[in-house]
Structure 1
Amino acid sequence: MQFVIIGAGRVGLRTARVLRDEGHEITLVERDEQRIKRAQHQDFPVIEGDGSREPVLEEAGVMDADAVGALTSDLNVNFTACMIGNHYGCRTVMRIDEAYREGIYRKYADQVDEIIYPERLGAIGAKNALLGGTIRAIADIAPSLQVVELTITEAAPVNGYTLSELQLPANATVLAFGKNNSPLEIPTEDSSLEDGDRLVVLADFDVLSEVRQLLVGETPMQAAANAGSGSSSVSTDRDTNSDTGGVN
């Protein structure tokens, strides 16, 4: 997949690294000279300019991108970049600082695909937001263990089961469960699994493909190919420094 990320500060650059490690193509947009050099030193293509300007995003390849991640600390730049990305049919992910009032959050949330708080989520949250879909890597907690959130699909073999009937591989266990559009909570045995419900699972990498087949309905070939792409490094960064890619 192809991504345009506006802002090469800590959030943007770490998100770009996580995505590139999974085989995706990344183009960064940044105005700060030092950040441009840092990103280029890590072999990222960087377009110098204001990420809220359409010609700059066009130069970065927004016409062919799958998603735009507006990850600067400037809300106006981020929102404008997302509107441009939406115009070109991209998935749009906008960074917003936790300090903003809930009313402002709701105003923008209706107009972009996903809003993230990098102070809470770090690069892994931004990456998941950009990818979208039914599988979200939450954390690698050991060299062979990963926590993932999976969304039950209509094609899942376990659709219609209760949690007591669910039989995961030996090296996988359910940590949390959430009905469609409801918060995650501690699972109960009589909870039913239906299209759109979410399960948070701790699993060994060796059984991730089997878990994906059961809960998402991927074919064995798809699950084997995709199991590795759910991997991402634990990110505990707290982006307290200002990221101003795209603005002075």
Structure 2
Amino acid sequence: MRFVIIGAGRVGLRAARVLRDEGHEVTLIERDDATIRRARNQEFPVVEGDGARESALEDAGITNADVLGALTGDLNVNFTACMIAKHYGCRTVMRIDEAYREEIYRKYAEEVDEVIYPERLGAIGAKNALLGGTIRAVADVAPNLQVVELTVTDRAPVNGYTMGELELPADATILAFGKQDRPLEIPSEDESLEIGDRLVVLADFDVLSEVRQLLVGETPERAAANAGSEAGGVH
């Protein structure tokens, strides 16, 4: 996937590193000279400019991007950038500080795909917000292991199976199961898998592609693109 992230400070740069480690393409937009140098020293492409200006977004590749992450500390910049990105068909994720009142939050939340409070999120949480969808990283356990939460879709080959019939690769284990809108719990063999059900799986990076195909219904090509790079590094 292609990401444009506005703001190469602490929040933006950490999210960019996590996404790049998974094999995604990330371009940053930043105005501060020292921050730009730090990001470029880490070999990120950086567009120098104001992320609230359409010209800067175009220079960063917004026309071909899948997601815009507006992660600066300036709410007005973030919101303006998201509104521009919406016209290009991008998923929009906007940073907001906890200091804003609830009615202000609701106003902005209605206009973008997701609002995040970086004070409450680690790098994995920010990455989940940017990626969206039916697969959510929960934690990195070791350099080759990750805990992921996956949501069963209508494309999943296992849709309609019971937990007892479900067979995952040898290097993947189900840790918890939850019916749609219900808490996660230890699964029983008689539970049936239906659209919207969630499974928390501990998996080696080498088998994440296969797990995605089984539980979410991603095509082999899409699953490999999303999970293949995970075998090479920590998120």
Give TM-score scaled by structure 2 length. Answer: 0.85
Query: Is the counterpart of residue 140 in structure 1 residue 140 in structure 2?
Result: yes
Equivalent residues in 2 for 1:76-91, closer than 5 Å: 76-91=76-91
* Amino acid paired to 1:66: D
* Amino acid paired to 1:40: R
1:26 is matched with 26
The answer (yes or no) to whether the contact 2:176–2:187 under 8 Å persists in 1 is: no
C-alpha distance in 2 between matches for 1:219 and 1:53: 37
Deviates further, 3-12 or 35-44: 35-44
C-alpha distance in 2 between matches for 1:11 and 1:191: 40
SS at match of 1:44: coil
Query: Is the counterpart of residue 149 in structure 1 residue 149 in structure 2?
Result: yes
Q: Return the offset for 1:132.
A: 2.6
The answer (yes or no) to whether the contact 1:12–1:123 under 8 Å persists in 2 is: no
SS at match of 1:140: strand
1:50 is matched with 50
Unpaired runs of at least 5, structure 1: 235-248
Cα pair distance change 1:165/1:19, threshold 3 Å = same
Query: Is the counterpart of residue 209 in structure 1 residue 209 in structure 2?
Result: yes
The answer (yes or no) to whether the contact 1:82–1:93 under 8 Å persists in 2 is: yes
* Amino acid paired to 2:127: K
C-alpha distance in 2 between matches for 1:153 and 1:230: 22
Q: Return the offset for 1:188.
A: 4.2
* Amino acid paired to 2:50: D
Equivalent residues in 2 for 1:35-184, closer than 5 Å: 35-180=35-180, 182=181, 184=183
The answer (yes or no) to whether the contact 2:144–2:234 under 8 Å persists in 1 is: no
Give me the CA root mean square deviation.
2.5
Deviations 1:170-205 (A, max 9, x none): 44333333444x264224425442222222211233
1:186 is matched with 185
Identity rate, percent? 76
C-alpha distance in 1 between matches for 2:220 and 2:48: 43
Deviates further, 37-46 or 84-93: 37-46
SS at match of 1:211: helix
Give TM-score scaled by structure 1 length. Answer: 0.81
Q: Return the offset for 1:80.
A: 1.2
SS at match of 1:148: strand
SS at match of 1:194: coil
2:196 is matched with 196
Deviations 1:213-239 (A, max 9, x none): 3211245565455433456745xxxxx
Query: Is the counterpart of residue 228 in structure 1 residue 228 in structure 2?
Result: yes
C-alpha distance in 2 between matches for 1:95 and 1:216: 28
Cα pair distance change 1:201/1:88, threshold 3 Å = same
Structure number with greater CO (CA < 8 Å, separation at least 6) is 1
The answer (yes or no) to whether the contact 1:124–1:233 under 8 Å persists in 2 is: no
Unpaired runs of at least 5, structure 2: none
C-alpha distance in 2 between matches for 1:57 and 1:151: 32
Cα pair distance change 1:63/1:214, threshold 3 Å = closer
